[in-house]
Structure 1
């Protein structure tokens, strides 16, 4: 199968590479200067540690031209030959202004120092953070790790995913829920990438913490709309997380000690100015506390993860990156029950500069998510295993044709292997029978091209097309299904397919486009359209996804999901960019959305498709965002007004109903205040409409028990009470001493400061005192104040 994938990729890449080679000038390209043009290219890095500065800018104010660095810090800017003052800048860093005579193409590597540091003899100037107004991007959010580390944390554990849930358009169904929801989509409709490798379950402890160690993350970007053509495979969003590359200047150690976990990261040079590394690990120690309790000493509950990355500079034009992640959650209740789940990823990347204008990145990656559970001992002892594996080979090209015109193109080939479930009895007396669902295979091929162009000083845009081909492969048995919609169907017309045999192919074009019109120096209007296709589906009939949910490929009966989204926004900065604000309105339609018949069995079901229902989805709303960028007080306020609905044959009489993750109102307030050079305080407040749920409208008696019951095909006919929570935090920095490398800080935080018992769910049961009555019970994950303290350090 891998050979099949590689041959397909070769066929896709050869025409692309040939076309790019014809466009690109030779590597030494002084021919551009002969036409009165010169290209300045190179890399932008952090002066302190050598990390690439993603999104840093290079500009020539005299010409009104500029460009940004890509994901690897590479930039390219072509200008008429001459002498210019060139500015290199990035938010949070001192701007360098240098005078360069550009008579022919030249390469220049630039290192920027953090604000407050003078570098050599260059002129230091401030930077205006107006990218939100001037760039074509919209529906994109970035968060700085320094800022995230100052925000209140649950039990002292800094968390990337919790931080992005404070941004407009992003929500969750509550504590203890894995994943997040974006603009009315499900958790499976978010593509989460860690150094380009997909992560299928980005959470620890059933959603309380994310898999991303804060010491290892360099950059994160969330795209909710106007998604470039290079991304595909999900309907709602892309969370692109990049790991640090390792300090190229000196050995460094950082970490933290908290109430439930501790972490440690080590980074440094391997070969001076050529290679560096970083290794970051984290482990919780709940199991150690359990061992100290006599009644709990045989129980286990902990997680751990490990991130590592090495990069090596082969020469001026070539660089290799090797990174990996491994994380696991382990739970056990003596010999009664055990459960483990985890992710592992590996990424190998090669950067090559073909010419000052042509940059390429080739990636090979692997990703796996799996879980297991069972009963270790006893009459019914068993083991249950399931996983999904992904192998991908891809290539991306950036061609900087001119300052106002950049072409991006690429191709990828991906192979998927699904093991839905296997149960093996481990006791001779077990009443369980061995059961193994058929493994499934699939391959996906994609090519894309897009073009960023500046049409005038006010008008710019980006347009592109992605073409995806998804093959559902054997071996396996497929069925057609007959019966009444809304009830379990009967499989008919069984057909057998051999290993690697094509069962079903889906071909989908995915156009993308976005426009930006600058009204003045402080404001702009933006609009975007994108069509997304999703061929992998998370089968889950619970409100919050769980580790036991099943990933399923598109088959003969499960069709690919499609989404068309349109967004329009107004962006404005105030007071010399000290404040930024935006209003975005979006609308999204979806088809082939999956729901379930009442009482559907989604676990270890050979005929799972017989219990699925399909239909349409729609989401629409408005997002408001105001952010203060500098001064003693920084932070933001975001508010989302939205609606998410589904229309499924066999549910709610075929009428529209709200989805299980619909939230009409979602408000977040974030504030960070620097009291002094050592003390800072912060707070976050959340308010949201309660999630929708289905309440019983009748009951029946079975063997003396009163059982709540739902009649008809209603769905999500009630809401739980509204959710709101206040978190507080204070950070004390250690005394600064330039001669001492050790730097420490204490973080004190209070989660759920006023002890709100937010409902995770509401269920119904028989009243113990009055058995003839049914009572509603509120289940809360955290119903009290949770104080914590953590110590962080670097040296």
Structure 2
């Protein structure tokens, strides 16, 4: 296998050089940036008018276009920017051409029409992909008036959550852990602050947001459902810029400025909630001294060494704190370093190295008042990685990508220390280690003006080892009260550092686009994704205290195969865009849990796991209005998500806890004039499946609910629906009479809906022989808010 992989690398490295030697055409290449701040523009269109062909810029604003010798008109455009038209001569040698585009706020509507590449959503290879501009996200009415990236993407088709107060999101019937969330290529394991009400992404520091639900390119891997790729701003390379906001629950401030004008810049963005500060005067007695806050810091610096080399360094650190004497905290930290190198006008390299850590801690004695009687629990997952990605621009109709990654995992599933009367005892799970190695190659080829394909292959390998002196092998012993899963574990001696289990997967990828007309196309895709990490949670909603663990000799990697077919159509000179997609996804090695499974601090938890298969399928409809005073979209998803595990539900298919049959989202933004604008969004979602007792026993007047063994999802929580509204008033000046500012007034849950989060049963207070169902609502009323944003 090692020889095979080595040969692949040789082919990948030599193939572009051979193509370059054979190609006698000339190339124009360079960077497209924002003239105001020097940020590279992602997805800007570079179009040769005479040849009716073109390309788009990559994540860093780099483009390369190879054409026959001659004189041409180059048209460069991007959404929200004025066009740049240049006459170029390609007669003797290739040309390096860097351009800067100017944003045009005074003629916004006209600019959008001109700048948007014709039928971009129809003619591009991407399907099952949603890109949401930060300008749009910032106008969406939000809880307590605070802009939130993760809550905004939940208005897109195929995206849901199990309820308010739940961490993360679900895509096409998948679990929270099946989403790879990247911040400048570093994975973020918990994307939520404040138990899911806010995300860790500071909107003032975010440059680009892309959600990939299907047709996943070969360079991505590691999760079974989706990729949320978030890119940070690089910092204003032209002048000092300050952004901020003062809200009901937290405030934020970002500063960006050049270090060396047009060569190096930085951005630093910080947020801090002050719930605990506002509540402090009202907390007395046992509640005095309670902590309930979150904070984060985001920073990035870049240096353009020369036309061929640019380096970036970015980082994130955030933490939530909750508790009084007894409490817990959790947080993410990431550090990413990147090097962009242009080998030639056709070969581009981005090398990324990153560190990522997610940890949480539980402490019964936060203030160290009872050190002789305390309980402490901690857990974390840490990554280190190196990842080179090459792009070779063969021609305007053919782009080759290839690269690889080595990613290390260090798992601390859970370690606890209990102290009683001064005597301490430690218990929990030992550390686990994993190394995920991968290589990939992909090609996007425009075969004809009507037909394009994107295909690729990814090879991934995972090596698992443990720091324990022994490991366990599952064995079937039969279902009993002591073994509800039917499995026990056999002790096997272990040599620390030795590889216990190796898994390998080939992950093919394929997408196609057939243009059926000037403004319509049919797209199809297939991808296989392998996932080697798992989130252990047997609750309805994921929480910060859930445990991440490795694939082991007992836990196989999750593998998902998905096919999708879509029709895309634009109307009214691209004013309206519409799409309809159907998808079907099969998943192997899906995990569920035996009744009464104990997952936390249990070194033997693998015996309580049950394995089977899953499937998800559905229809997604999307209609969007791109310009005019009224803009927005409507999305509808009809979906089913199911599992089949022999030991559960009599071996029949049952609804997964992420199943949502109907999801309807409507979002509208209306601009009255330059001073006032309004926004509204409405969501209707079918309730999630829930397991409740179907029978009860009465013993000596006391009722005991009974759920038959293996029952899953026998009831469904009532539907969720909510309406939010907002009004934004722009001011001419901000602080100290400079810059610009705005007031944002919003009402979350306008008509006071008490949406159910969960339902549980309990004995009736007046008649204990009867059982009553109780509905729990996280937000049971409307929530008004006001926020002041400023920029100068």
Give the TM-score normalised by the residue count of structure 2: 0.95
User: 2:701, 2:769 within 8 Å by CA — same for their partners in 1?
Assistant: no
Give the CA deviation at 1:8: 12
The aligned runs of 1:265-414 (5 Å cut-off) are 265-295=254-284, 296-333=287-324, 335=325, 337-376=326-365, 377-378=369-370, 380-414=373-407
Which residue of 12, 18, 42 corresponds with 1:54? 42
- In structure 2, the CA distance between the partners of 1:402 and 1:602, relative to structure 1 (3 Å rule), is same
When structure 1 is superposed on structure 2, of 487-496 and 540-549 the one drifting more is: 487-496
User: 1:706, 1:774 within 8 Å by CA — same for their partners in 2?
Assistant: yes
SS of residue paired to 1:266? strand
User: What CA distance in whole angstroms lies between the structure 1 residues aligned with 2:386 and 2:780?
Assistant: 47
User: What CA distance in whole angstroms lies between the structure 2 residues aligned with 1:385 and 1:222?
Assistant: 32
User: What CA distance in whole angstroms lies between the structure 1 residues aligned with 2:606 and 2:490?
Assistant: 14
User: What CA distance in whole angstroms lies between the structure 1 residues aligned with 2:723 and 2:297?
Assistant: 31
User: 1:590, 1:616 within 8 Å by CA — same for their partners in 2?
Assistant: yes
Which residue of 15, 35, 38 corresponds with 2:10? 15
The aligned runs of 1:769-780 (5 Å cut-off) are 769-780=766-777
User: What CA distance in whole angstroms lies between the structure 1 residues aligned with 2:629 and 2:545?
Assistant: 46
Match in the other structure for 1:41: 29
Which residue of 147, 162, 169 corresponds with 2:151? 162
1:587-612 deviation digits (Å, cap 9, x = unpaired): 01111000001111110111111000
SS of residue paired to 2:122? helix
Question: Are 1:86 and 2:74 matched, yes or no?
Answer: yes
- In structure 2, the CA distance between the partners of 1:533 and 1:700, relative to structure 1 (3 Å rule), is same
User: What CA distance in whole angstroms lies between the structure 2 residues aligned with 1:463 and 1:561?
Assistant: 22
Match in the other structure for 2:183: 194
SS of residue paired to 1:91? coil
Match in the other structure for 1:4: none
Give the CA deviation at 1:706: 2.7
- In structure 2, the CA distance between the partners of 1:696 and 1:737, relative to structure 1 (3 Å rule), is closer
Structure 1 unaligned regions, length at least 5: 1-6
Give the CA deviation at 1:769: 1.3
When structure 1 is superposed on structure 2, of 59-68 and 224-233 the one drifting more is: 59-68
Which residue of 703, 707, 712 corresponds with 1:710? 707
Match in the other structure for 2:456: 464
User: 1:44, 1:53 within 8 Å by CA — same for their partners in 2?
Assistant: yes
Give the TM-score normalised by the residue count of structure 1: 0.94
User: What CA distance in whole angstroms lies between the structure 2 residues aligned with 1:41 and 1:373?
Assistant: 54
User: What CA distance in whole angstroms lies between the structure 2 residues aligned with 1:41 and 1:531?
Assistant: 34
Question: Are 1:140 and 2:129 matched, yes or no?
Answer: yes
1:179-207 deviation digits (Å, cap 9, x = unpaired): 10100100100000000000000000111
User: 1:24, 1:358 within 8 Å by CA — same for their partners in 2?
Assistant: no
User: 1:9, 1:445 within 8 Å by CA — same for their partners in 2?
Assistant: no
Match in the other structure for 2:413: 420
SS of residue paired to 2:10? helix
Match in the other structure for 1:483: 477
Question: Are 1:630 and 2:627 matched, yes or no?
Answer: yes
User: 2:79, 2:115 within 8 Å by CA — same for their partners in 1?
Assistant: no
Question: Are 1:259 and 2:248 matched, yes or no?
Answer: yes
1:251-296 deviation digits (Å, cap 9, x = unpaired): 1100100000000000010011110000000000111023211323
User: 1:12, 1:447 within 8 Å by CA — same for their partners in 2?
Assistant: no
Match in the other structure for 1:720: 717
User: 1:206, 1:546 within 8 Å by CA — same for their partners in 2?
Assistant: yes
Give the CA deviation at 1:10: 12
SS of residue paired to 1:115? coil
User: 2:173, 2:658 within 8 Å by CA — same for their partners in 1?
Assistant: yes
The aligned runs of 1:508-547 (5 Å cut-off) are 508-547=505-544
Match in the other structure for 1:3: none
Match in the other structure for 1:102: 90
User: 2:566, 2:579 within 8 Å by CA — same for their partners in 1?
Assistant: yes
Question: Are 1:754 and 2:751 matched, yes or no?
Answer: yes
1:706-725 deviation digits (Å, cap 9, x = unpaired): 33221232210110111000
The aligned runs of 1:433-444 (5 Å cut-off) are 433-444=425-436
User: 1:128, 1:577 within 8 Å by CA — same for their partners in 2?
Assistant: no
User: What CA distance in whole angstroms lies between the structure 1 residues aligned with 2:420 and 2:4?
Assistant: 47
User: 2:474, 2:607 within 8 Å by CA — same for their partners in 1?
Assistant: no
Give the CA deviation at 1:615: 0.4
The count of aligned residue pairs is 775
Give the CA deviation at 1:21: 6.3
The aligned runs of 1:667-746 (5 Å cut-off) are 667-700=664-697, 705-735=702-732, 741-746=738-743
When structure 1 is superposed on structure 2, of 741-750 and 161-170 the one drifting more is: 741-750
User: What CA distance in whole angstroms lies between the structure 2 residues aligned with 1:673 and 1:227?
Assistant: 34
SS of residue paired to 2:425? coil
SS of residue paired to 2:38? coil
Give the CA deviation at 1:323: 0.2
User: 1:9, 1:411 within 8 Å by CA — same for their partners in 2?
Assistant: no
CA RMSD of aligned residues (A): 2.2
- In structure 2, the CA distance between the partners of 1:216 and 1:702, relative to structure 1 (3 Å rule), is farther
